[in-house]
Each structure stands twice: as structure tokens, then as C-alpha cells.
Structure 1
Amino acid sequence: MTEQLPLQRRFSSKDFAALRAFLQKHPPATIARTYYDSNGDVHAATPDAMERYLRDMLATLFDLAIGHGSSVLADHLTASIRQHGSGRLTAGSLKLVEEAALLAVTTPAASHGIGMWFRPMGARYLKGRSIATPGDLAGYCNTRGGRGWRSVPRIGPGRARRIVAWLRRHERAIGLRVEPYVDVADPLVAPDSGVITVGGEAGLLAPLERMAICEALDGSRGVNRSAAFPYIDAHNDLAAIRAYLHLYRDQPKTLRVYTRELQRFLLWSVTIRGKALSSLHVDDCEAFKDFLKQPSPSFVGPRAPRTSRRWRPFASDSLSPRSQLYAVRALRAAFTWLVDARYLAGNPWKMVNDPVTIEREAKLRVERALPGQLWSDVRRHVQRRSAAAENQRWRIVHALMLLLGDSGLRREEAANARRETLHPYPAADGTDVWALTVTGKRSRERTVPVSTGTVDAIRAHWRDRGEDFDAPTATGPLLSPLVIPRTKAARLKHDGSQRMPYATDVLNRLIDWLRRQLLVELESLTPATQASLEQLSPHAFRHTFGTQAAANAVPIDVIQKVLGHQSVQTTSIYVQAETQRMMREVSLMFRKRNRAGRQDPDEVSDGEPAWPEQSRSRA
């Protein structure tokens, strides 16, 4: 049985590296600077403290080597101490001492500081990525995979490989497992054509476009296959699903979410249920509904590209009730279509009840809208920052912010808005306003008013692009990148024949950048206004338009048309929000008056009604 060593005899591999440098006559100050953090390691605070620590460590290792090393090594060290008063080590004897001293090496724990096991420079870069402990390091590997190290300075493939190997060597001590897919090479596509066959081997998962199903489970002989003449040329379940999804090829958002739900169900059916999709019964569908509440761990993983081996169908180990409801309804609709297309004989999902959900009272989160004064302050600040010639990004954000907040556009509508559909529209009273035609949800076209201030902001953005907004033949997206990245994907997208708009995700990043700037630069922020800015998003500007229009007595049917709501009931939420704001502000006035009345009762006139507190006291 191995002897349990006292805490002071436990050393890390970094200590041994420092000791080798000390024996090679390197100055203690250099050793402290190279191997330790002067702020975190007390023994490295001064050169004297560093030398004392290393000499004590050397004496401790001598004792261990004499007690636990070979008899030859013990005799050599004992004779050296007698002759010189202290142990003298050669290169060979130092190696033997290190081997004997392995008994003194501590093992890493998940809560250790990262600086205990890494040199200061490496620890500093890791801390810059919020990696403060070995536990954080293991989590970073599992989340980012083998290519995640590209974002950490001074860590290339070689160092990353050694870090992963070190974590795997100490998995038991740290208590966290580094997943098998964490490979420094981390090829995005499998060595073959990229198609993965599921169902024939446990554990293989792939998205729909890379999926193949073994013949026994592909549904070519499914018990629920229709005997009538099929309307689609699909010989198996995978081909039938792709035929259904092809209907939504012109609706990218719908196509994305339907693909997600169907590939989850198909993978579950083949790999967990062990049945073809066209052989499932009602009890199978009920089992999948229960599966959605807590997916199997093998189906859950961090977000990864669909071409990566790390891709998993679920990013969370539980779905919200509303997400479960959406999944069930999407699958029921897909099976209904497959029955109508005469691929399936019947729809088992018709016999499955929807998951129980709580209907939200307000479907729109109008509380994200900016208060009127804050909206004015933001407009003035962004306009002022946009005036400087070098602030091109501010001008982009200015145009985007006004399109969203003055015209009530959705993020996708602003991204796809084009110059060809924006025209002057003289008002009856002589005030100029512009009209912009956009295509919104459900492919419905509508025309929204655009202020002259918004047009001026767009015009400034076009000047930065080197284009004339007012040219008779001006065409193109209202918002577009100024610089095209030198990547293959960017070159393919911006092929030179036409200017492409911003991607919708980029608009999110632009508003997020604006949020961070405003939190730093705006003065006299109250806790309430700071909270409003903290949750700023593209949709928050759309809500701002709705609430400000309601506050300025714009008719509700007009607000509905501008926002593109299908029902006036949805738009009425903005009127309710304005009413709530009115009640809240007036109640604050009542509270102040009531507080003043309690402090000086003589100032309350005889004709003034009693406040609620007074009424309760008499009762």
C-alpha cells in the first residue's frame, strides 16, 4: 500500500521543471518569473523566497529518494551528503531522483487554479478565455472540440495535443471526462463521402442531409406504407421526408425548423426505438413525446457545425413545453401530408394529444421597448457619433436602428429591404415621407412609412459604400457590408455581379455592439434605463415603435398595418402597454402625495379625499 504523503511533500510538474532550472544554475529571479505567478505563488514573491522553496523541495526529494528509491541511489545520495554536506546530483542521478519522487507529485483537481499547472504566460491566455481551473479547461475542450484552440493565443496544435493528453491522463483525479470527439485534427467531414449510415451501428448520428439508413430500417417495407398509387417517387422514409421538406425550399426559416423536428424523430425511431418511421404506431409516438421532455444524453451536445462529428440533434437536455408542443404539431402535419401523398396508409399522430402548455397572457414581450425619453437620448447620441467622418460603423447602426424603430420593421425585413422599393411619398399637408415596400411573414407584402431622418441615415451609409442613393438607376439593398472578407464563402456570395445585403445574424451583432457602446457612453443612466439597454435587441426597436405610436394616439388599425400583424388583437397589446405605463406613472404621483400627506397632515385640505391607507385604518 502506498504511503500517504503530507501536503507539504506534494509537488506539481511545474515545480520539477523549476527545480531542473535551479540545478542548472539559473537565477532564482528568472525561475520565479518563468514558472510561477508572483501574485498567486507566495514562494515566488522574491528571489530569496524562491531559492528557499527550491532548496526545501530538493531536501524533501532527497528524503523520498533515500526512503523509496533503489539501494544504489540511496547509498550514492547518503555518501554525497556526508562528503559535501548536501546532495550533489549529476544528470543521471537527477533522473533517478525524479522517478523516486513521483510519490510526491500531487494530482490535479477540478478546482485547482490553472496557474498551478501551467506557466504564467499560458495561464494568462487561458484565463483570458475564462478558463480558471482544470474543470473549466475540460469543459472548454468538450464545448469547442479540437479546433477551439484557434481562439487562444500562443496555443497551436502541438500544445493543444499535449493539453488534451494531460486532461485524459488525469480524468479520474479531475472528475471530468474529455469526450472522444475532442481531437486536435477534428476533421469537419468524415474521411468518406460525408454520408453516415445510422441504424446499423449504435451511437452514429448525422443530420438529415448526411444521413443514410440501413436497409432493415429504411422503411422500404414499412407496415404503414400505403397500398394505393403513391403521388411521390419515394421508396423509403428518408426520400419521403426530403420530398415533404422540398415544399418549403423558398421558406428558409420554416425549412430549418421542420428539418430539425423531422431529423430528431427519424434518428430516435431508428437508433433508439429500432423501427422504421413508416412502421411506427401510436404508442411509439407517445414514447417520443415523453422523450422530448428529457432527451437521451447521446442525443445532446454543444452546438457544432452540421458537418462536424460533434453535431447532436439537441443542444439542451430538456425542451420547454412550448417547444414540445411545436414538435408534436410539426410531426402531425408532416404525417398528414405523407398520408395525403399516399406514402403512408394512416397518421398515428392524429391519436396523440398535444403536450400541456400554459398559454401566455401576452405573446409579445413589449416590456423590451425603450421608454420615450431613453429612445430620444439614444437617437441623439447615435446621430452625434455618426457625424464623424471615420465612424462608418455608427452610420450603419444609425440607419439600421431607424429602420427598425421608426418604421417598425422586423430584423429579416430590414435585412432584405431594397432601394428599388423605397420611393418618396408626398403627404397631403406638404410633409415629405417615404414609402418602403417589404415582404414580411407568410410572404405578405406591405408598405410602411419611412421618415426623412431614416432616409438621410441610409443616404450617409450609401456614401460610405461609394454609391449614390439618389441616382435614377440606384438599386441594391438598403444596408450592405462595406468590406467583403477574403474568404472563399464570402467571394462566392459576393460574386461581383450584385451587392449582397447583411445576413440577419450580422444585424444582431451590430445591435449588440450598439448596446455595449451605449452602456458605456450614455450619461446619467438610471437603474431602470440601464435595465432597458441591457435587453436591447433588433426586436426591441420594433416594440419601441409600437408603444410610441400608441402613446401618440396613432389609430390602432394604422399601427397594425405598419407592423404587419395579422390580427388587431396582437396590436392591441401595445395600447395595453401604454395604459400600463400611464397607470404606473400616475400611481407614483399618488404615492408621493400620500407620503407627503402622512408626514404633514395639516397640509391636507378638508375637501381632499382620504387615501387608501387612511381608509384601511378607519376600517
Structure 2
Amino acid sequence: MDLRFRRCYHFCFTRRRTYFDPDDDLQAATPSAMDRYLRDMLDALVKLAIEHGSPVLADHLKSSARKHGSAKLTAVSLKMVEEASKLAAAVPAAGHGIGMWFRPLVARRLKGEKIATLGELIDLCNQRGGSWWRSIPRIGPGRASRIVAWLRRHEVTIGRRVDADVDLAEPFKADDAQIVEIGGRHQVLAPLERMALQHGLSGATGANRSPMFALIHARNDLEAIRDYLYRFREEKKTLRSYTKELERFLLWAIYVRKTPLSSLLVEDCEAYKDFLAAPSPAFVGPRAPRHSHRWRPFSSYTLSPESQKYAARALRSAFSWLVDVRYLAGNPWKAVKDPATIRREAGMDIGRALSASLWHRVRSYIDGQCANESASYWRTVRVVLLLSGDSGLRREEITGAARAGMRESTYSSDDFPVWELTVVGKRKIERTVPVSPATVDALRAHWRDRKKNFDDEASGPLVKPIFLPPTPQAKERHKSDTDLSYAPDSLNDMVAWAMKRLRAGIPDLSNSEIAQLEATSPHAFRHTFGTQAAAEDVPVDIIQRILGHRSLQTTTIYVQAKKQRMMKAAAKYYAADAASESDDD
């Protein structure tokens, strides 16, 4: 066996666990299999050299094969073979299995995420952005960077492109120019994405760090917090709330306690609970953009007891997760009681709900606007308000609703027609809600504006924009028709647009009704459904199921009958008492 071939064989055999582990796309790395694999490789190289190399090399190899049964390679001829093989080397393609191009360790991890081909890997990168690797065990930022770089080098032959914004930037981290070091002599405050912790306060050697093998890559407290928040990347409201609580607590730990977050004890957590009741002036300021130097963690010198309680629970939950993944050894917040709060008579403010009379006039006015053939936006508004006002859906449920989830109910009849819609609500809980005939008719009109027949279609978003603003952001967001849907926040703008025109267009509105329409949000129509359903004696457990409330007690706020009887009885008592006093006089 040629010396260079023996060296190649020795290297590959000693590294067989690394490069030739059993895999769906490769053979098992037994010694005999390795020998066959390398000999087949040599034969393939010789064939390529004969086909693509110089005539002199081809004659030499053919002669050697006739004489020895197989071609013997000298150092010079091996070099020529290598050069010739480059002319016919295999190139990556979108349909190639990842095991053909990546080490088995990497391939197994990717296959565990149902990523089998190079094309599917690129789809994953483009879908999740720079943090695509975080959900894949043992694929850190360094390995992810090399994978993306390799994919970009071969994007021509693969026929697919990794998006430019897949830049492997850390989530919740701003550009380097915006990063502010936290913990220095000057008390500089910055939000989580702009933070960099001074080494002594980073928590790299925190007293509460777990001695066990950690299940996350985090090297310090800031990275651990970002790993925790990454779990909520698809729950924007939750992400904003938890980010606010964790960045407040981290800044307080650094500047007030002068202690890394991973070294805080129960006494520290109790002290922070007191701090929440009255934040220090240095931490408070008017609302400002997160990239501004005027940004402050608190916008008020007083937090309500409910906000204090929420903060304690959010931090307790975050610390529990950090213990579960073995970043922290223990959770000091478990020994801390929640701040005391008043148990409210009603858990939600339903005063924003429209009265039956006003809701009827709003619907009539919108129906009149929708009669105009060119009023496609009004017809979209009508669908959104009816899905909320007749079916009790939240913003996120409306924007996430799909045609595939809607069907005529098996309990429908000619006398009482009703459709049903299955949506995914809060806490990722699926539920089915009834849909009124008026909503179905509104949907048919909206789908006609989309140049589609609602009754013939089986897929697509239930509600989608008819026109797109000519901005780069809109074009990027709606690259394909299947992705076209409203963002939940855009419904706020839609309702504000409609309310402005309703206030000006509906005749004989009282001052209180004008003020109510001015303050109306998409959620107000969900409250409208709850109050109107309760007024029509719909059983409270049915209202609970339609609205998706976890607790029946939450739903009972819509039931005003007991409160009305109490107030009427008291009014009669007061009137009788006043009349009695008058007679005595």
C-alpha cells in the first residue's frame, strides 16, 4: 500500500468516530468497511484521473493496473490524480442528505429536528433567522457560523440562498456600536439588548452557579437570560413583559446590590420586592425609545400591587427554568412571598364594551359603507369586528385563523344556521367557537375582494390584506402569498381608522358614546360579545368556553344580573327611607 494511502487510512481509522459514525447517509465505520471505503475512493480517483487527466497520466495508470491488478500511485502520480479529480468533483445540491456533507455528529442533531436535506436546512435558517441553531442541541454559535458560511459558499450549486439577515447575531443584542457596559463606576442604564456586563459582575463565577453539567451554552448571566427569553420568541406580548422584568432585576442587582444575578440570595430578592414598591429616581424616567440614552427601566415612581406581584412571579418562573437547565443551583425566589394585593371584585375592566344600541348602530353604519363596491378595506374591517364582537376572538386569534379551521357546524339547521371555527388561543390552547351567519356573509364578501370563492377554498388565512404598502418591510414580510396575513398590532390601527370615521359618520351620538368610540380597541369588541351574550341569558359556562377563559370566575364579570338586583333593591330601600323621614317631618 502506498505510504500516503497508508497515512490517509491511519488518519481516517483513528478519527472514525468523528467522520464515519453509522448514519443514514454513510456506512458503518467497521475496520473492513473502512478498508473497502478507502479502496473504493482510490478506484474512483483513478477513474476520474483516466477520464479527465493528461494522456501521459492515463497511460501510466492503465499500465500499472494491467501489471499489478490495480493502479499503484507514486507521490507525483497521486498529486496528478488529485488535480484531475477536482474536474469532476461532486457538488452540493438542495436534495442531498445532510449526512453526505456534514459530520455525523452534526447530521444527527439536525435530523433530530426533522432536517434531512440541505434545502430543508436552508429553509430552517431563513425561517428562524440568526438564532436558528438555538433549538438544536449541541449546535453552538461557532458551529452554526461555519454551517451558514459553507451553505453560502455553495448556494449556486444548491440553488437556494441563505437570507442576508441570517447573520448569526445573538438574539436580544444590538449592534456593537450601541452596546453599553453595565457595572462600571458610572451608573449607565441600558435595555437588555444593549447590555454588556463587566466581568466581575457577569456571573461567570456566580456563587449560585450549578456545579452540574449545564444544558445551555450560557457563559454568564446575560447569556442565560437571553436563552430563557428565546423560548418566547413567538409570543411577542409575553416576550416584552418578561424582558422588562428581567432587565429591571438585572440592572438592580448590578447597581444597587453590586452582585451578579447568579449570586443573589433570598434576602436580596426580598430587598428587590421592597424596591419595586418605590423605585429609586435613577431608575425612573419618561418613556423613551430603547436605543435612546434617556431610556429608563421604570416610567413611574409607583407600581401597582398587581404589577409588583407580576414581577415577583415572572422572576420566580425564570429562576426555576435556570435551575432546571442546571445553570443555577437553586431558586431564591421560591422562599419569597408575592406582594400582597387586593382581590378585585372584577378582574377585568369591561366598561369599554359597547352597549347593545351602540353596537347595533356601529354594525349598521359599517354595512352601509361596505355596500360601496370599492370599499374593500371597510369589508375587511367588518370581518375583524364581527369575529371579535360575534365570536369573542382575541387579536392574535383573528390574525392566526385559517380557512381550514372553519366549517359549517354539524349542529346547524335551516332555522338556526351556524358555522364553527377552530383557533389556537392563549397558552397554545385550541378551541372551537361559533361563527354567526352575518360573519360568514362578511367573510364571503372579503374573499371576493381577494378574487377567491370562500365556499370553494380550503386553505389560506381567514383575513388578509387586500393591498400592501409599498415599503421594503411590507415586501419582505409578504414575500409569498401563503405568508400574507395581518400582524396582531395592525388590527389596532385598523380599529382606530374605523372608529375615527364612525364618530364622524354616525348621527346623534352622545358625548359619552363619542368618548367610548374614541377609546375603543379591538379587545373592546370581545368584551361586547361577553356582555351581550350574558344579557341574552346565554349560560355563563358557554360564554366561558367561547371566550377561552381559564376560570369561570373570570367570565362571571359579564353577568350583571345580581349586581343590578342589588342596586335596584338598595335604591328602593333608600327611597322608602327618605319618604319615611319626610313623613316624620
1:477 aligns with 2:482: no
Secondary structure of 1:498 counterpart: helix
1:418 aligns with 2:402: yes
User: 1:126 matched to which residue of 2?
Assistant: none
Assess, with a 3 A threshold, how the Cα gap between structure 1 residues 316 and 467 changes in structure 2: closer, same or farther. Answer: farther
For 2:496 and 2:252, locate their aligned partners in 1 and report how far apart those are by CA, in whole Å. 37
For 1:191 and 1:364, locate their aligned partners in 2 and report how far apart those are by CA, in whole Å. 40
Structure 1 residues 225-234 or 265-274, which shifts more?
A: 225-234
Assess, with a 3 A threshold, how the Cα gap between structure 1 residues 581 and 520 changes in structure 2: closer, same or farther. Answer: farther
2:445 to 440, 445, 460: 460
User: 1:538 matched to which residue of 2?
Assistant: 522
Unaligned runs of 5+ in 2: 1-172
How far the C-alpha of 1:302 sits from its partner, in A, is 4.1
For 1:336 and 1:315, locate their aligned partners in 2 and report how far apart those are by CA, in whole Å. 28
How far the C-alpha of 1:507 sits from its partner, in A, is 0.8
How far the C-alpha of 1:525 sits from its partner, in A, is 2.3
Query: Does the 8 Å contact 1:437/1:445 carry over to 2?
Result: yes
How far the C-alpha of 1:448 sits from its partner, in A, is 0.7
1:613 to 564, 574, 578: 578
For 1:541 and 1:370, locate their aligned partners in 2 and report how far apart those are by CA, in whole Å. 7
1:440 aligns with 2:425: yes
User: 1:361 matched to which residue of 2?
Assistant: 345
Residues 538-559 of structure 1: CA deviation (Å, up to 9, x unaligned): 2221111112112222222221
1:487 to 454, 471, 476: 471
1:557 to 509, 531, 541: 541
Residues 209-249 of structure 1: CA deviation (Å, up to 9, x unaligned): 33221211111122222334434333211222223223334
Counterpart of 2:580, as a letter, is S
How far the C-alpha of 1:611 sits from its partner, in A, is 4.4
How far the C-alpha of 1:252 sits from its partner, in A, is 3.1
How far the C-alpha of 1:289 sits from its partner, in A, is 2.2
User: 1:238 matched to which residue of 2?
Assistant: 222
Query: Does the 8 Å contact 2:204/2:220 carry over to 1?
Result: yes
Assess, with a 3 A threshold, how the Cα gap between structure 1 residues 584 and 411 changes in structure 2: closer, same or farther. Answer: farther
Query: Does the 8 Å contact 2:412/2:419 carry over to 1?
Result: no
For 2:357 and 2:389, locate their aligned partners in 1 and report how far apart those are by CA, in whole Å. 14
Residues 6-25 of structure 1: CA deviation (Å, up to 9, x unaligned): xxxxxxxxxxxxxxxxxxxx
For 2:426 and 2:564, locate their aligned partners in 1 and report how far apart those are by CA, in whole Å. 29
How far the C-alpha of 1:584 sits from its partner, in A, is 6.5
User: 1:25 matched to which residue of 2?
Assistant: none
Q: TM-score, normalised by structure 1?
A: 0.61
Assess, with a 3 A threshold, how the Cα gap between structure 1 residues 204 and 467 changes in structure 2: closer, same or farther. Answer: farther
How far the C-alpha of 1:445 sits from its partner, in A, is 0.5
How far the C-alpha of 1:612 sits from its partner, in A, is 4.5
User: 1:378 matched to which residue of 2?
Assistant: 362
Secondary structure of 2:558 counterpart: helix
Secondary structure of 2:408 counterpart: strand
User: 2:435 matched to which residue of 1?
Assistant: 450
How far the C-alpha of 1:314 sits from its partner, in A, is 2.6
For 1:203 and 1:497, locate their aligned partners in 2 and report how far apart those are by CA, in whole Å. 49
How far the C-alpha of 1:441 sits from its partner, in A, is 1.0
Counterpart of 1:464, as a letter, is D
For 1:523 and 1:232, locate their aligned partners in 2 and report how far apart those are by CA, in whole Å. 61
Assess, with a 3 A threshold, how the Cα gap between structure 1 residues 485 and 204 changes in structure 2: closer, same or farther. Answer: farther
For 1:389 and 1:299, locate their aligned partners in 2 and report how far apart those are by CA, in whole Å. 54
RMSD: 2.9
Query: Does the 8 Å contact 1:439/1:445 carry over to 2?
Result: yes
For 1:415 and 1:581, locate their aligned partners in 2 and report how far apart those are by CA, in whole Å. 36
Counterpart of 2:317, as a letter, is A
Q: TM-score, normalised by structure 2?
A: 0.64
Assess, with a 3 A threshold, how the Cα gap between structure 1 residues 498 and 272 changes in structure 2: closer, same or farther. Answer: same
Secondary structure of 1:407 counterpart: coil
2:327 to 320, 337, 343: 343
For 2:243 and 2:506, locate their aligned partners in 1 and report how far apart those are by CA, in whole Å. 43
User: 2:200 matched to which residue of 1?
Assistant: 216
Counterpart of 1:343, as a letter, is Y
Secondary structure of 2:338 counterpart: coil
Q: How many residues in Structure 1 have an aligned counterpart in Structure 2?
A: 411
Assess, with a 3 A threshold, how the Cα gap between structure 1 residues 527 and 192 changes in structure 2: closer, same or farther. Answer: closer
For 2:413 and 2:456, locate their aligned partners in 1 and report how far apart those are by CA, in whole Å. 27
Assess, with a 3 A threshold, how the Cα gap between structure 1 residues 203 and 483 changes in structure 2: closer, same or farther. Answer: farther
Query: Does the 8 Å contact 2:403/2:457 carry over to 1?
Result: no
Secondary structure of 1:390 counterpart: coil
For 1:280 and 1:468, locate their aligned partners in 2 and report how far apart those are by CA, in whole Å. 61
Residues 170-189 of structure 1: CA deviation (Å, up to 9, x unaligned): xxxxxxxxxxxxxxxxxxx9
User: 2:70 matched to which residue of 1?
Assistant: none
1:256 aligns with 2:240: yes
How far the C-alpha of 1:427 sits from its partner, in A, is 3.7
Assess, with a 3 A threshold, how the Cα gap between structure 1 residues 492 and 429 changes in structure 2: closer, same or farther. Answer: closer
